[in-house]
Amino acid sequence: MTKYTFWVGFDDDAKAIDVAVYREFEEAPYRETRFGRDDRGLGRLVKMLRELPGQVRCVYEAGPCGYALQRYLSARAIACEVAAPSKTPRRPGDRVKTNRADARKLAKLYRSNELTMVAVPDEAQEALRDLMRARGDVREDVLRWRHRVSKLLLRYGHRYEKTAWTLSHLRWIDTIRLAEEKTQAVLDEYKAGLRIALEQLARFDERVAAAAREPVHAPFVASMSALRGISTIGSMTLRAEFGDLKRFHDASALMAATGLVPSEFSTGDSRRQGSITKTGNAHVRHVLVEGAWQYRHRPSLRSKVSKRRKQLANPQVIAIAEKADVRLFRKYWKLVNRGKRSTVAAVAAARELAGFIWAVGQTL
């Protein structure tokens, strides 16, 4: 019997999986069908794939259903990859979108090697990613509650002149009594919501700190914390989102994965670069830009980061971190002195910080 290569595209949702199968480079689908996502439907899917007379290659786009389908098929020795939706080619004139059409398109693009695949995390890494993203959600909740409290007080003429959200600021808020009973009730509920969110954030921070002390993560966290602006939270975010940094073949690949590289619109001899692409991991991008602001300050030998570096046994990591201090400080102020906005300079420093993170990752 002749053996073929079968290219299989899935479009999965919460209830069912649409399947399009192409044999070799034939234009028409070899088979199209639909299976439920329950145990019976998945069993029928596996049976159908195993009955195909040749090599089977499957693909679907990353989405809200996660990586359960990929793990299910891989556990049964069926090759399955997951494509990055943001990198999937889309024709401007294509106005028809159905699950069946999407399955066909994925199979054809996979066959022509035009899809960009994502690294599927194992269950332990995905659990860490859930923890870090949940902490990020709670941090956003804290920010929202703070805005609600401060804007409500501002509307009634109460403005705090010193540093906001310190213990003194919170005590000052507790002393305020608004004239209208209904408005005071709103303020009390806002304060209660803020207190609950802060308590939840503190619990998440404890869990992240405990995870950072685990033997599998501790060396990574210690090395990344040698870089200014990369805290335990930042290190664990990098660990959760990217895992082993050695899978990036060079620093530019890591920069691109964060979406910090500039967009470009060039033709002929004309070259025009725009704002950053943002087609990458938003969680890591936030960590890098937030950390890059630290490099506007001149490096200090008495800082907490310098003390952490002295505890490291890896002189190569220390050398990389010290080089980052000098280069990124100069990078930031060079751009600012040229008239660039501080935010633009911070993003440029964040892009190069990703390169130093990659270099540290290669030493582990």
- DSSP secondary structure letters along 170-230: HHHHHT---SSHHHHHHHHHHHHHHHHHHHHHHHHHHHHHHHHTSTTTHHHHHHHTTSTT-
Instruction: Please state, in angstroms and rounded to a whole number, the distance separating the CA atoms of residues 190 and 154.
Output: 14
Residue 309 has pLDDT above 90, yes or no: no
pLDDT band with cut points at 50, 70 and 90 for residue 308: confident
- Tell me the mean pLDDT in the region 75-104: 91
252 by Cβ neighbours in 10 Å (0-12 / 13-18 / 19+) ranks as middle
Predicted confidence at residue 303, as pLDDT, reads 78
pLDDT in tens, 174-190: 999 999 999 999 999 99
Output the pLDDT for position 150.
96
**Average pLDDT of the residues in 333-339:** 97
**Residues 152 and 186 sit within 8 Å (Cβ to Cβ):** yes
Give domain limits for the chain. Answer: 4-111, 123-212, 218-361
Among the listed residues 301, 299, 298, 280, the one whose alpha carbon sits nearest the alpha carbon of residue 347: 280
Beta strands 54-61 and 31-36, pairing class: unpaired
List phi, psi (to 5°) of 264.
-145, 135
Q: In this predicted model, what pLDDT tens digit does every residue of 24-73 receive, in sequence order? A: 999 999 999 999 999 999 999 999 999 999 999 999 999 999 999 999 99
Specify the pLDDT at position 302.
74
Q: What pLDDT is attached to residue 49?
A: 97
Per-residue pLDDT of 186-216, as tens digits, reads 999 999 999 999 999 999 999 999 999 999 9
pLDDT score for 2: 61
Q: Is 261 a residue whose pLDDT tops 60?
A: yes
Residue 78 token pair: 């069926």
Tell me the pLDDT band of 1, cut-offs 50, 70 and 90: low
What would you measure as the largest C-alpha separation in the chain, in angstroms? 87
Quick one: pLDDT band at residue 94, thresholds 50, 70, 90?
confident
Question: What CATH number was assigned to the domain covering residues 4-111?
Answer: 3.30.420.140
Distance, CA of 237 to CA of 135 (rounded, Å): 10
pLDDT of 307: 77
Confidence check: pLDDT of 20 > 80: yes
Residue 298 DSSP symbol: P
Tokens of 217: 């993560």
| Strands in 250-315 per DSSP E | 262-264, 273-276
Q: What is the mean pLDDT of the chain?
A: 94
Residue with tokens 């089977």: 56
Cα separation of the two ends of the chain: 49
pLDDT at 213: 96
Half-sphere exposure of residue 173, counting CA atoms within 13 Å on the CB side? 24
What percentage of the chain has pLDDT greater than the value 70?
99
Show the tokens assigned to 100. Answer: 């069946």
| Cα angle, residue 323 at apex, residues 256 and 302 outer, rounded to 5° | 120
